[in-house]
Structure 1
Amino acid sequence: MYLTLDLESEEPIYTQLKYQIIAGIAKKELSPGEGLPSVRSLAADLGINLHTVNKAYQQLKQEGFILIHRQKGVVVNPDGVPQANEAYWSELESKIHPLIAEAVCRNVSEKDFLQLCSQIFTKFNIKDDES
């Protein structure tokens, strides 16, 4: 999996890293049980502070995307990502709500918003369709 970070972005680097790893899992570029680079190794490869990588990894661990073993290192959760539960749906709604509010303020139609969402979903499902 290829990671690219925008060091000039307003989005924190650890967040960019976290979301790219999640996208890699969603696109099946990273498989359950697959190893990820160590904190030090990834930090050195990307030219960023190891605490930045550690913060991304800790959040991914808390959210169930990865496991961190002393002996095995960092791996994509072998059991897969936990399924959406009520708490996840609530969090998802709280994240989407301000995006929709801003889209409405900018006169983005519901149809166009949903079409964009559909296009993004399609990007994640391409690998499934090719199998």
Structure 2
Amino acid sequence: MNIHLDPSSELQLYKQLANQLIELIAKGKLKNGDTLPSVRSMASDLGINVSTVSKSYHELEEKGLIELKPKAKAIIIGGQKKELEETEVEKVENALKPIMAEAFARGLEKDQMTSLFHRILKQWK
């Protein structure tokens, strides 16, 4: 697993880790049933605090992408192709709206946004 955290980034370390794990799931590099390293092991490998990794794992659990079991490793449960419930689609839409609004406010045209969206989609399965 190739994870790089940037301590000088404005984005908190736990969020950087969570985002990178989500991308690995989206790209199929972490598959349903795979296990993540223990919190302690991941923290040691990345040279960060255990609570930072724990916070990332809990965020992924809240998003329904991993399952945490006491005294066991985290198991990937996301990345499976399935029909999303309407509430899940709404969550994604609500998360995308402010990002897209900011892009338009910065001057991106609709065709540039569409092109960017397709370029990003090509990165995933």
TM-score over 0.5 for the pair: yes
1:129 maps to which residue?
none
The runs of at least 4 aligned residues of structure 1 exceeding 4 Å deviation read none
> 2:40 corresponds to which residue?
40
Structure 2 spans left out of the alignment, 5+ residues = none
Indicate the residue corresponding to 1:124 in structure 2: 124
Find the counterpart in structure 2 of residue 27 from structure 1.
Answer: 27
Judging changes above 3 Å, is the alpha-carbon distance between structure 1 residues 28 and 85 closer, same or farther for their aligned structure 2 residues?
A: same
Aligned to 1:69: 69
Deviating more after overlay: 47-56 vs 100-109: 100-109
Structure with more helix by fraction:
1
TM-score, structure 2 normalization = 0.89
In the TM superposition, what is the alpha-carbon distance from 1:106 to its structure 2 partner?
2.0
Task: Give the AA of the match of 1:76.
Answer: I
Per the alignment, do residues 112 and 48 of structure 1 end up closer, same or farther by CA in structure 2, a change over 3 Å counting?
same
1:83: Cα distance to partner?
4.7
Higher strand share: 1
Letter in 2 for 1:59: E
Q: Which moved more, 1:21-30 or 1:85-94?
A: 85-94
CA contact (8 A) 2:65 2:78 kept: no
Q: Report deviation, 1:38.
A: 0.4
After superposition, the Cα gap between the structure-2 partners of 1:107 and 1:20, relative to the gap in structure 1 and judged at 3 Å, is same
Residues 4-42 of structure 1: CA deviation (Å, up to 9, x unaligned): 111111111111111111111111111211111100110
Q: Identity across aligned pairs (percent)?
A: 34
Q: Which blocks of at least 5 consecutive residues in structure 1 are unaligned?
A: 126-131
Cα 1:70–1:105 shift into 2, 3 Å:
closer
The number of equivalent residue pairs is 125
Query: What secondary structure sits across from 1:33 in the alignment?
Result: coil
